[in-house]
């Protein structure tokens, strides 16, 4: 039983059933979600709602993503266990934990230092293999560990895909998954790179907090 005395097992299983009903069918992804109790990533003020399939506030005006969407995005990355992965938008660390169970190497970038510190605290009880945490502008990628087999952007990008992310994607079938479009809603898009050729596939609409940075939305564009 967790330290706060609540047994969340039944709620977690019910959440997994909802994720399954919404298309998360990969047993490895479902197992990674099962091993990642979401209440560890939700602020105490909202812990009651940790197993409801909704995004929730985590501070700095940001959110922990909707769990079924986290599952769907992870599934779309088609991870086999060995990939070098870059995540942009650490947030609470919830998606980070799930990714780390399914890939070979993980680097995650967050623009708010306070969220990175909080994510480090949230992840501690899970004893996961090493993860590289970077505080900075993820729209510039992270060149030291490029090329990446997979890049996952967990914030809504403007209509032009950040060029550094395309440049840092492996030409050997690398996949970049990102929501991009307008401020109000985005299209979940997967771009696959073979050599210099890029192919995009769209997987439906979603709503994310904005990707803010040099190759993302500018802070001024978001005011008002």
For position 89 contacting ligand SAM by CB under 6 A, the verdict is yes
Q: Choose the catalytic residue: 14, 65, 68, 219.
A: 65
For position 137 contacting ligand SAM by CB under 6 A, the verdict is yes
> Least Å distance between CB 133 and ligand SAM?
11
- Whether the Cβ atoms of residue 153 and residue 138 lie closer than 8 Å to each other: yes
Which residue, 33 or 64, has its beta carbon nearer to ligand SAM?
64
Q: Give the span between the Cα atoms of 87 and 189, in whole angstroms.
A: 15
What are the CA-CA distances from residue 218 to residues 1, 160, 206, 223 (Å)?
Answer: 45, 13, 20, 9
For position 92 contacting ligand SAM by CB under 6 A, the verdict is yes
Residue 161: half-sphere exposure toward Cβ, Cα within 13 Å: 23
Taking CB under 6 A as the criterion, the residue among 36, 62, 75, 118 binding ligand SAM is 62
> Least Å distance between CB 89 and ligand SAM?
3
Q: Give the span between the Cα atoms of 185 and 63, in whole angstroms.
A: 15
Q: Give the span between the Cα atoms of 44 and 28, in whole angstroms.
A: 29
The gap from C-alpha 65 to its chain's centroid, in whole angstroms, comes to: 8
The question of whether 65 is a catalytic residue gets the answer: yes
Task: Residue 209: count other Cβ atoms within 10 Å of its Cβ.
Answer: 18
Region 147-186 residues binding ligand SAM, contact defined as CB under 6 A: 154-155
Name the β-bridge partners of 62: 59
> Least Å distance between CB 197 and ligand SAM?
27
Q: Mask 95-124, x = binds ligand SAM (CB under 6 A)?
A: x-------------xxxx--x---------
Q: Which positions touch ligand SAM (CB under 6 A)?
A: 62-65, 70, 88-89, 91-92, 94-95, 109-112, 115, 137-139, 154-155, 208-209, 211-213, 216
**Which active-site residues does the annotation give?**
65
């Amino acid at each position: 039983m967790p330290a706060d005395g609540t047994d969340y097992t039944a709620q977690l299983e019910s959440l997994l059933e909802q994720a399954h009903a919404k298309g998360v069918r990969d047993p490895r992804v479902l197992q990674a979600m099962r091993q990642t109790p979401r209440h560890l990533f939700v602020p105490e003020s909202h812990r009651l709602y940790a197993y409801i399939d909704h995004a929730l506030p985590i501070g700095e005006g940001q959110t922990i993503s909707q769990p079924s969407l986290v599952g769907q995005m992870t599934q779309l990355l088609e991870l086999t266990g060995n990939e070098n992965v870059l995540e942009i938008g650490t947030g609470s660390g919830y998606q980070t934990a799930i990714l780390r169970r399914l890939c070979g190497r993980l680097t995650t970038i967050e623009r708010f230092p306070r969220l990175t510190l909080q994510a480090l605290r949230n992840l501690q009880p899970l004893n996961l293999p090493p993860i590289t945490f970077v505080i900075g502008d993820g729209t510039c990628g992270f060149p030291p560990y490029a090329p990446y087999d997979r890049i996952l952007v967990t914030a809504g990008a403007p209509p032009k895909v950040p060029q550094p992310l395309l440049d840092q994607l492996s030409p050997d079938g690398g996949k970049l998954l990102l929501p991009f479009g307008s401020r109000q809603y985005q299209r979940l898009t997967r771009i696959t790179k073979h050599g210099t050729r890029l192919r995009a596939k769209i997987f439906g609409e979603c709503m994310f907090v904005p990707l803010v940075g040099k190759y993302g939305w500018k802070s001024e564009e978001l005011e008002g």
